[in-house]
């Protein structure tokens, strides 16, 4: 047996979407901001990303959150989010999972806590009942009513918006949003992603379909395709931020008004916003639950210690 490198992680889920917080044993990313550290992580430690979230230790749906030293000392921690395909700038469900994990570790108590992400500082309120409200970085719509041609589907129209990640948001379609149709929804949104990337918006890495919700009290249900072709089990915090930026730009959601977004599995995030010049500051609220405290072992002679390529 080879000598194992040990990594401590705490797993949680937020509305069904898992987050694996790497608490210790991560790579040295040097000095600087979390954005600087993300560059080092991408260039030199992509194998670490794979080892944490892909098979055989993880799965396509797992999102990783690597704790790191923040440059902004008003922050409780810095964090780099990543998934089965890449590292991502910000993650709403992941921030709710991270705050819940820090509380579980005894590092924080209910109240407001700042977190430095690769795309800016977010602030999160841990409520007494365990819910977490994340005040995100500014969100805005970049383009309205973008028309793209998609093989097998024809012309699709949607909005391109930023909510911490780049989204293409589609309201007009005739697809059924439920778990029985997940394979079809995945195939279709994957095709849409290729099309929007080659037809003017190469930055878009998440695709969202919306439909009216069948649940009492929810304004809408969504299906969110993530960069690595997994779908988000949660309503997607950065996606909800992008959605509210579009609703605000169209005059369909007033400042402070609550939007209840349901995910494809039925979990709900609440969102509201404050207007700013050119966009909004979104706040999203949800609840995470701890599912595991683990020590991951990376044995030197394990041919799959960095995941299955």
Annotated catalytic residues are 91, 236
> At a CB cut-off of 8 Å and minimum separation 6, what does 281 contact?
135, 136, 137, 138, 139, 273, 274
Q: Is 238 in the site for ligand PYC (CB under 6 A)?
A: yes
234 binds ligand PYC (CB under 6 A): yes
Contacting ligand PYC within 85-114 (CB under 6 A):
91-93
Phi, psi for 37 (deg, rounded to 5): -65, -35
Closest CB 207 distance from ligand PYC, rounded Å: 12
Residue with tokens 């395909």: 85
Query: What DSSP character marks residue 179?
Result: G
Residues 203-232 that bind ligand PYC (CB under 6 A): 226, 232
Q: If binding is defined by CB under 6 A, does position 76 make contact with ligand PYC?
A: no
Least distance (Å) between residue 238 CB and ligand PYC? 3
The footprint of ligand PYC on this chain (CB under 6 A) covers a number of residues equal to: 12
Minimum CB–partner distance for residue 155 and ligand PYC (Å): 27
> Contact letters (x/-) for ligand PYC, 289-308, by CB under 6 A?
--------------------
User: Which of 12, 13, 17, 159 touches ligand PYC by CB under 6 A?
Assistant: 17
Q: Which of residues 50-69 bind ligand PYC (CB under 6 A)?
A: 63
Contact present, 215 and 178 (Cβ < 8 Å): no
CA dihedral (256, 258, 263, 266) in degrees, to 10, reads: 160
CB of 59 to ligand PYC, least distance (A): 14
Of 39-47, 71-79, 189-197, 234-242, the window that binds ligand PYC (rule: CB under 6 A) is 234-242
Nearer to ligand PYC, 269 or 298 (CB): 269
We find the least distance from the C-beta atom of residue 19 to ligand PYC, in angstroms, to be: 9
Q: Min. distance of Cβ 119 from ligand PYC in angstroms?
A: 11
Residues 6 or more apart whose CB falls under 8 angstroms from that of 33 comprise 70, 71, 72, 116
Q: Decide if 256 contacts 112 (C-beta within 8 A).
A: no
How many angstroms separate the CA atoms of 237 and 261, rounded? 10
Residue choice 62, 108, 185, 236 for contact with ligand PYC (CB under 6 A): 236
Cβ proximity to ligand PYC: between 91 and 169 the closer is 91
| Alpha helices, DSSP H, located in 45-168 | 46-53, 92-104
Report the residue number, 234 or 283, with the smaller CB distance to ligand PYC.
234
Closest residue by Cα to residue 29 from 57, 55, 68, 58: 68
Query: Which of 309, 156, 140 is closest to 238 using CA atoms?
Result: 140
Within 10 Å of residue 128's Cβ, how many Cβ atoms? 8
C-alpha to C-alpha distance for 255 and 244, rounded to whole angstroms:
10
- 195 lies in the site for ligand PYC, by CB under 6 A: no
Distance between first and last Cα of the chain: 22
Alpha-carbon distance of 199 to 206, in angstroms, equals 15
Q: Which is nearer to ligand PYC, 262 or 305 (CB)?
A: 262
Contact code string over 146-165 relative to ligand PYC, x by CB under 6 A: -------------------x
Binding site for ligand PYC (CB under 6 A): 17, 63, 91-93, 165, 226, 232, 234, 236-238
């Amino acid at each position: 047996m080879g000598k194992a490198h040990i990594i401590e992680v705490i797993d949680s889920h937020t509305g069904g979407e898992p987050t694996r917080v790497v608490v210790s044993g991560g790579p040295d990313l040097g000095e600087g901001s979390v954005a600087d550290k993300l560059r080092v992580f991408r260039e030199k430690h992509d194998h670490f990303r794979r080892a944490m979230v892909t098979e055989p230790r993880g799965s396509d749906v797992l999102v990783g959150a690597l704790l790191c030293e923040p440059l902004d000392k008003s922050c409780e921690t810095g964090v780099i989010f990543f998934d089965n395909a890449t590292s991502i700038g910000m993650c709403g469900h992941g921030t709710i999972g991270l705050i819940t994990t820090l509380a579980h570790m005894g590092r924080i108590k209910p109240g407001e806590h700042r977190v430095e992400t690769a795309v800016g500082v977010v602030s999160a309120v841990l409520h007494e009942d365990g819910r977490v409200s994340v005040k995100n970085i500014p969100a805005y719509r970049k383009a309205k009513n973008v028309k793209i041609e998609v093989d097998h589907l024809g012309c699709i129209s949607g909005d391109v918006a930023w909510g911490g990640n780049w989204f293409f948001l589609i309201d007009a379609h005739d697809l059924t949003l439920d778990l029985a149709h997940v394979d079809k929804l995945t195939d279709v949104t994957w095709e849409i992603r290729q099309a929007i990337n080659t037809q003017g918006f190469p930055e878009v890495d998440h695709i969202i379909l919306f439909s009216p919700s069948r649940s009492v009290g929810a304004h809408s249900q969504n299906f969110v395709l993530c960069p690595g072709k997994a779908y988000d089990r949660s309503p997607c915090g950065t996606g909800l931020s992008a959605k509210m930026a579009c609703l605000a730009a169209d005059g369909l959601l007033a400042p402070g008004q609550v939007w209840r977004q349901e995910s494809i599995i039925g979990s709900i995030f609440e969102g509201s916003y404050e207007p700013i010049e050119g966009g909004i500051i979104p706040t999203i609220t949800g609840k995470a639950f701890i599912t595991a405290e683990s020590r991951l072992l990376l044995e030197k002679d394990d041919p799959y210690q960095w995941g299955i390529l």
